[in-house]
Amino acid sequence: MGLEFELTAKVQPKEAANQKVTYTTSDPTVVSLTTSGGKAQLKAVGEGTAVIRAASAENPQVWVTCEVTVGDLSMASIMGGVATGIWHQILWLLRGIVRLFKMPNTPQTDEQRINKEMQDAVFLLREKDPKYSYESWLIKTEDERKATLEELLEEIQVNITKTNVNRDITWKKADPKKDKYAGMYTGATNTISLYIYPGSGVYYDLMLVLFHELRHGYQYEAVVHPAKHPISEMTLEKWTENQKNYINYDDDETGYFAQPLEWDARYFAKEPHSWYGVQPPANPYYQNWVSNKSEIETWE
């Protein structure tokens, strides 16, 4: 006990006007905390685990945490570790008893966390459930594939996104000469349409298209019922404005790719840029996913 160490959380971006951070400890009987010069001075005072929270002084909803575990440095504890052959426990003790988990580089908002959790859950469902696997897909008929996508749509809505998009997908036969879409969400009817092109049928990557269009359904609900989905005021403003002034692909290809609604849906669905034959421009709004533009993950 009595070991002390220093913890520093930095606000991103560096240009932010208010760089102040406030620190708290979940259990001062395990780890006590004092602050000085924007840094937290931590002291191990008792056995157990405490969570240290660093929050933006300007916006407390922007925060990160790290977990500190304090163990027993008594000779009995050390000998017990030797007797049971738990060598990693001795190494842990000799390193100073305190184990500090790495903090994220950038504070994460509730909106960013929930977006990432939904995205991870959707792709984990496709990866882990055998009925959505590629191997299962290959042996299904076209009608069975349609039924699988509709089942996937319902499962995602009930268990993950909590949206109310119409469970019945509208299937459309595409005309290659005029149709340039694989899918479409229509807010007025709250429906998703998926296009079938001659020769391609209901192909496996339509799952990503389904994720994209379902995200549009989430966006629509978030604007109409903002209390239902945890989005920031900035996101609500961006999505509302974009829905009022939506840019169609046929009218302005560059503007279509750059608008917040489309960028967000593509990012959520991890659609390859190669699908579109162009490298979409960097989106001017990304804060609903990350706090720093450099942290945007590639999904190609």
The pLDDT score that the predictor gives to residue 158 is: 93
| Average confidence (pLDDT) over 71-85 | 44
122 with 260, same domain: the answer is yes
Rg over alpha carbons for the chain, rounded to the nearest Å, is 25
Task: Give the range among 69-83, 93-107, 113-127, 267-281 with minimum mean pLDDT.
Answer: 93-107
83 with 150, same domain: the answer is no
- The C-alpha atoms of residue 124 and residue 176 are separated, in whole angstroms, by 33
Is the predicted pLDDT of residue 13 greater than 70, yes or no? no
> Is the residue at 212 inside a domain?
yes
168 with 285, same domain: the answer is yes
Q: What is the DSSP string of 25-60?
A: ES-TTTEEEEEETTEEEEEE-SSEEEEEEEEESS-T
The pLDDT score that the predictor gives to residue 2 is: 63
133 with 196, same domain: the answer is yes
The model's confidence at residue 292, banded by pLDDT at 50, 70 and 90, is low
Instruction: Determine the structural domain holding residue 69 and report its residue range.
Output: 4-100
> Is the residue at 300 inside a domain?
no
> Is the residue at 138 inside a domain?
yes
The pLDDT score that the predictor gives to residue 176 is: 77
Number of structural domains (the chain) is: 2
40 with 135, same domain: the answer is no
Give the pair of three-digit tokens for residue 111.
């909106």
Strand order in the sheet with 170-173: 170-173, 191-196, 183-186
Which has more confidence, 8 or 74? 8
pTM of this prediction?
0.63
The pLDDT score that the predictor gives to residue 163 is: 92
| Average confidence (pLDDT) over 52-74 | 70
82 with 119, same domain: the answer is no
Which has more confidence, 176 or 60? 176
| Average confidence (pLDDT) over 211-236 | 92
Give the pair of three-digit tokens for residue 251.
């009218």
The pLDDT score that the predictor gives to residue 1 is: 56
| Average confidence (pLDDT) over 232-238 | 91
Is the predicted pLDDT of residue 73 greater than 70, yes or no? no
Among candidate residues 62, 63, 6, 56, the one with its CA nearest the CA of residue 31: 6
- The C-alpha atoms of residue 37 and residue 20 are separated, in whole angstroms, by 9
254 with 162, same domain: the answer is yes
Residue after which a domain boundary falls, among 80, 100, 120? 100
Q: What is the pLDDT of residues 85-136, one digit of tens each?
A: 333 333 333 333 333 333 444 447 888 888 989 999 999 999 889 999 999 9
Is the predicted pLDDT of residue 297 greater than 80, yes or no? no
Residue partners of 284: CB distance under 8 A and separation at least 6: 258, 260
> Is the residue at 279 inside a domain?
yes
pLDDT above 70 covers a percentage of the chain that reads 75
| Average confidence (pLDDT) over 19-47 | 84
> Is the residue at 299 inside a domain?
no
